Structure 1
Amino acid sequence: MRVDWLVLGDFRSYHSLDWKPEPGVNILVGPNGAGKTNLLEAVSYLATLRSFRRAPDEALIADDTDAAIIRAGISSDDRERLIEIEIPVKGARRTQVDKQRLRRTSDLLGVLRVVAFLPEDLDLIKRGPAYRRDLLDEIAIQLWPAAYVDQAEFDRALRQRNAFLKSGHRDGTTLDVWDARVAQAGGKVALRRARVVEGMEPLLGDAYREISSSDATTGISYQSSWPSERFVGGSAAEFTDGMLSALRETRGTDYERRVTTTGPQRDEPVLELDGHDARVHGSQGEQRTMALAIKLAAHRLIAEATDSPPVLLLDDVFSELDPKRSSALAGALPGDTQTLVTSARPDEVPVVGVVWSVDGGLLRE
């Protein structure tokens, strides 16, 4: 899977760009503020329809313009696809694939897949569990595009259930309705997270040892706020039934606290190093190595499951690493993957590739 060409119009700092990246490694070099990250953000947006910086759509539109345009030719499995996105200042976003307008965001997912690594991802281990839950959900969407709909439905149902609890009403019949909706979508979310964790377990260990050059053992587990572990290996229906039972069991507590106290929104993915919680016992260097290994494991999992390696986006990562880890990461990168790397200095990137100079919204080889 690769981006054959990319056209941007009034997207962030790019008023007009027509770029043809190489199929292999592309190194984008330029001073801070030159637009390197903006370029990676545009590629990621093509795959996910959201900013990897968690910025609102209006922030992507260049100042004093009416709309941002992203167009790209995508190749995957010897098939060429065309993605076109218009993000207007006013009105709804318009998305087309092969000249056919999409009615739902989920229809785009899978046309292009990416794995992005940003500087803040190096702190993935020591940050709160919400960031690690988001990572599992992002991987799940790349593996099963239908997961996007289930996650959106779960978030919507959970907000409505919490709003009802916050109102102070104790109407069991009404809460039964919200319990069913939360459990229906939440069971699917939890099941997919469990399957992602199961698939990543062996890949994480391999990636960590490659980057660290050590024989340390790693582990990844999914600690649930409800007894979901008894349903691992089961069906979505079993997860849903289990979550429905958990919601009913904690209803009294939920009434008291006026919030939903059990479910996927309270679960915690835990990463272990030599049998200990890496968040508590790992050094900063070990935590950063683990974060890199997670992203590499995610890329390998998606590549194996889809038979098409996702595009790899590395935003200013090498400058954050010491020379030893930087060199080890370079050696662990997949060789059959289109990779876009940004850096302020080319000598900080220990990989061979085509170097592009980025400055003021302009791109030159």
Structure 2
Amino acid sequence: MYLRQLDLRDFRSWPELHLDLEPGVTVFSGRNGFGKTNIVEAIGYCAHLSSHRVPTDQPLIRHGAEDSRVSATTVNDGRELTTHLLIKARGANQAQINRTKLKSTREILGVLRTVLFAPEDLALVKGDPSERRKFLDDLIAIRTPRIAGAKADFDKVLRQRNALLKSSGLTLRRGYDDPEGATALTTLDVWDAQLARTGALVIAARLSLIDELAPLIHDSYAAIAPESRPAAVVYVSTVDQAVEELTGASTRDPAVIEAAMLSELGRRRKNEIERGVTLVGPHRDDLQLILGDQPAKGFASHGESWSFALSLHLAEFQLLALEGSDPVLILDDVFAELDAKRRQRLVHVAEQAEQVLITAAVGDDLPGNLDDAVAARYVVTMNETEEGRMSTIEKVGETT
């Protein structure tokens, strides 16, 4: 798989950009803040419908513009598809594949597959559980787009349920004997059922994914840091106890997880009403990263943390590659963060990919053993105009 063409309009610092890309290695160099990462961020957005840098879409739209547009032409086993995304400041985003308008932007998931390494990856190890949940959910969305729909439905139900808990706490405490309390509790019952149904699909998908990822993560970490302790991953859920009580063992069956989640919601209802927040569900789960017999977070060294973050993405790349075409590999300013050993391991993966996109502040950050694979080099600069700062790009040997 490779990206043949990219067009941007009003995306961050780019009022306009057109790129014709090739298989092999493409390097974007330029000073920090000039807009090179914005290019690969746009590509990653086409693959995941989210940014690796910010949690919302608003910062992606160039200052003063109403919307931004990202178009990407992907070639996969000779088949060419072009996705168009309109990212709007107000209202729902819109998407097309070739000339066909889609009902939901999620329908483009899977057309372009990417694996991205970035300095932000340390948050996978040192950051909040939300970072690790996002890692799992993004990968699930690429492999099984319908689960992305279930996750979106879960998030919507969760917001509604939390709003009810927060705004109607006093009414809910009155119980079923009070008419208003009974109405509010009946509404809560409805949200519980929907939350359990959609949440069970998300949890089951995450558990199944980890079954496949865990051995790949273990082996990747051992290759990166053979002198370190063995790496492992464990999914820790708010419904683990309830599942154990129902089945006596773990399960990937959504129906069993749904029953367990309903049971746990019932058990913790009083606490949730008192606190005004939902305490049960995949939004409270975590992917625990373990080195030896200790959690990596808080116990791993800086080098071990980087190795673990790399091993997660190496496992992601291997899993996607096993399913067919190699994903597009994006290395966003990471070589400067890595020592020689980790650079070598990353170069080994890059050599396997059909297309690699690299950003670097200076050309020296690129390992010498990748030079022969470089198909194109671009220099990104920044111009000050009356309309603000605007990125420009020049291909080595010609002006773009």
The TM-score with structure 1 as length reference comes to 0.93
Aligned residue for 2:359? 342
Tell me, yes or no, if the aligned pair for 2:161 and 2:191 is still in contact at 8 Å.
yes
SS at match of 2:31: coil
Match of 1:263 in 2: 281
Query: Is 1:25 matched up with 2:28?
Result: no
Q: CA separation in 2, counterparts of 1:110 and 1:327?
A: 29
User: Match of 1:207?
Assistant: 220
> What TM-score results when the alignment is normalised by the length of structure 2?
0.85
Counterpart of 1:288 (choices 306, 311, 315) is: 306
Q: Does 1:253 align with 2:271?
A: yes
Query: Aligned partner of 1:136: which letter?
Result: L
Structure 2 counterpart of 1:357: 379
Mean CA deviation greater in 202-211 or 62-71: 62-71
2:388 corresponds in structure 1 to: none
Structure 1 residue 199 displacement after superposition: 0.9
Please give the secondary structure, in 1, of the residue aligned with 2:352.
Answer: coil
Which is worse superposed, 34-43 or 12-21? 12-21
Query: If you compute each CA radius of gyration, which structure gives the higher value, 1 or 2?
Result: 2
Whole-angstrom distance in 1 between the partners of 2:34 and 2:19: 16
Shift of the alpha carbon at 1:186? 0.3
The offset of 1:288, in angstroms, is 1.1
- Equivalent residue, structure 2, for 1:5: 5
Q: Which amino acid letter does the alignment assign opposite residue 189 of structure 2?
A: D
Answering whether residue 333 of structure 2 is matched by residue 316 of structure 1, we say yes
Query: Aligned partners of 2:360, 2:215: CA distance in 1, in Å?
Result: 31
**Would you say the 8 A contact 2:29–2:363 is kept in 1?**
yes
Cα RMSD, aligned residues only: 2.0
What SS does structure 2 have at the residue aligned with 1:281?
coil
Which of 181, 188, 196 is 2:201 aligned to?
A: 188
Q: What is aligned with 1:117?
A: 117
Is the 1:187–1:240 contact (alpha carbons within 8 Å) kept by the matching residues of 2?
A: yes
TM-superposed CA distance for 1:50, in Å, is 3.0
1:1-365 equivalences in 2 (<5 Å): 1-54=1-54, 56-88=56-88, 92-166=92-166, 167-168=168-169, 169-170=171-172, 171=182, 172-214=185-227, 216-227=229-240, 228=243, 232-304=250-322, 306-333=323-350, 335-350=352-367, 351-352=370-371, 353-354=374-375, 355-360=377-382, 361-365=392-396
Q: Which runs of 5+ in 1 are unaligned?
A: none
Instruction: State the Cα deviation string for residues 141-173 of structure 1 (Å, max 9, x = none).
Output: 111101111111111111222222222132432
Task: Give, in whole Å, the separation in 2 of the partners of 1:89 and 1:290.
Answer: 36
Q: Identify if the C-alpha distance between structure 1 residues 58 and 173 changes in structure 2 by more than 3 Å, giving closer, same or farther.
A: closer
Measure, in 2, the Cα distance between the counterparts of 1:337 and 1:181.
42
Corresponding residue pairs, total? 364
**1:257 Cα shift?**
2.2
C-alpha distance in 2 between matches for 1:336 and 1:328:
13
Contact kept? 1:186, 1:264, Cα under 8 Å? yes
* CA positional deviation for 1:331: 2.5
Greater alpha carbon shift after TM alignment, 244-253 vs 329-338: 329-338
Unaligned 5+ segments in structure 2 are: 173-181, 383-391
SS in 1 for 2:121: helix
Q: Deviations over 1:164-201 (max 9, x none)?
A: 22221324322211110100100001111111111111
Q: Secondary structure at the match of 2:83?
A: strand
Q: In 2, are the aligned partners of 1:191 and 1:232 still within 8 Å (CA)?
A: no
Tell me the percent identity: 38
Distance between the aligned counterparts of 2:138 and 2:198, measured in 1? 16
Q: Distance in 2 between matches of 1:338 and 1:223?
A: 35
Deviates most, 56-65 or 271-280: 56-65
